Each structure stands twice: as C-alpha cells, then as structure tokens.
Amino acid sequence: MTTSSPRVIVALDFSDPMHALALVDRLDPRGCAVKVGKEMFVAGGPEPVRWMVRRGFNVFLDLKFHDIPNTVAQACAAATRLGVWMLDVHAAGGRAMLSAARAAVNDTAAEEGVSRPLLIAVTVLTSLSDADLHEQGCAETAGAQAVRLARMTQACGLDGVVCSAAEAPAMRETLGPAFKLITPGIRPAGSAPDDQARIITPDAAVAMGADYLVVGRPITRAADPLAALAAINVSLGVAA
C-alpha cells in the first residue's frame, strides 16, 4: 500500500465558494489534496473546480453519483473532462451502474487525452451505525456490508472505496494492496466528533491501511488551518 500523492484531502465544505477558494489560495498542493462536495458544487458550479485544477491541486469531486447507469456514466464523463483527480459513485447503485461509470471514465480520458481519474465507490456512510442499517432492513453490520460492497466494486474495475478506517484492515486483507482506501471521519486527538459516528485519528487510520484521509472541520474551522494541516502531516511522518 503506497501513494505518492498527499495523503490528506481537505474537505472544502463551504456554502460560499469564495471562502473555500480563499483557503485553497493559502494551501500548497504538495501538502494536501482538496475535496469538493455537494454543498460547494451546487453553490459554485464547476468553475471553482477548474480553478483548483489549474492551480495544481488534486481535486476529489465528491458528488456520490447514484442513478441509472446511463445517467451516472454521463456525469462521470463530465467530471473527467473537468480534470479531477478522483470522483465517486455509490456502490449501492449496483454492478451495471459501476461498470458504466468505469467505461465512461476510461473512454472520456482517452478521448480528451487526459489522465484517467481515480474512480471510487462509497460503501457505507460513516454517519451510519449498525442500528441505522438494521432500521433500513440490512441484517449485516456496517463493516460486513462495507466489505461486501467493496468486493463488488473491485470486481467492476473501480480503483477503490470510501470506507471507515475501522473497515480498512479487512479491506486490505480481502482486496489487496493496490485497491485504494479513502477514509472520512478523521479527527485528530482531542477533536470533536461532529456528526461522524465512526471516527479515528490520522496516524491510526494509516496504520490500519488507509491510503487517503479526508479531513474537514478540524482543518477548515481551526483557528489556524495551515497549522492544523501541518500538524496532521507531521503526525503522518510528512515534513511540515
């Protein structure tokens, strides 16, 4: 399990894209990637993504596409044309949807002459507990459900999954070292859990097999965001 890209992905969960861009303007693309989710994308559209790509940032477009296969394929093609580094879909969309997404990303990257972005799938949201899944009719634990969906994702040719770090050891054992594991719910020691039900510290997540760590409020709402990011990188053995 190796990666040459920054491990930390800063989640830009801002309602005002200008606030996000002001923060990004202070960041170094060698020290972090950035994540654009639904709130910011709906508010600002694709242009902030293009701006960050031009600035040299690895951009994770976190829109969690989940629809009929053709609709998801077209959305993935559009994301690929934006030049993003990573995008995601919901594994619960099924094999046909996952396969259509994979084909769309491959074909569009070849047509545009750009690098193929990583295509990953969301397994079980880290805000969901076992009790939440049982209420929805799922008899499996969150961990078992996540591994089952990850196996299907890998079989459809995707690059990795979003999962809780708690599931990472089982994912590694089952899916091998090349499959990418992206873990949200990351909180440095002493941070508030906010709305995450399953959280873990950055160094513990990497030790458990995570490739990339999604960190939002502990950085973006810190009194000194750059210092907060630097402290996380130092905890991971990366020079500040």
> Band of the pLDDT at 4, cuts 50, 70, 90?
low
Q: Model confidence over 85-115: pLDDT tens digits?
A: 999 999 999 999 999 999 999 999 999 999 9
Q: What is the mean pLDDT of residues 29-57?
A: 96
Question: Would you kindly state where each structural domain of the chain is located, as residue ranges?
Answer: 8-235
Q: What is the pLDDT of residue 188?
A: 82
Please report where in the chains the tokens 């989710």 appear, as a residue: 37
Using pLDDT thresholds of 50, 70 and 90, give the confidence band for residue 142: confident
Active site residue 180: no
Which of 151-160, 214-223, 230-239 reaches the highest mean pLDDT?
151-160
Q: Among candidates 208, 215, 209, 221, which has minimal Cα distance to 233?
A: 215
- Give the Cα separation of 8 and 133 in Å (integer): 29
Indicate if the alpha-carbon torsion angle 90, 65, 172, 210 is positive or negative. Answer: negative
Local confidence band at 197 (pLDDT 50, 70, 90 cut-offs): very low
Contact 31, 234 (CB under 8 A): no
pLDDT at 214: 94
Among candidate residues 35, 38, 64, 180, the one labeled active-site is: 64
More reliable by pLDDT, 4 or 102: 102
The pTM score is: 0.91
Topology (CATH) of 8-235: TIM Barrel (3.20.20)
In this predicted structure, the answer to whether residue 167 has a pLDDT above a threshold of 50 is yes
> Of 109, 106, 110, 121, nearest to 83 (Cα)?
109
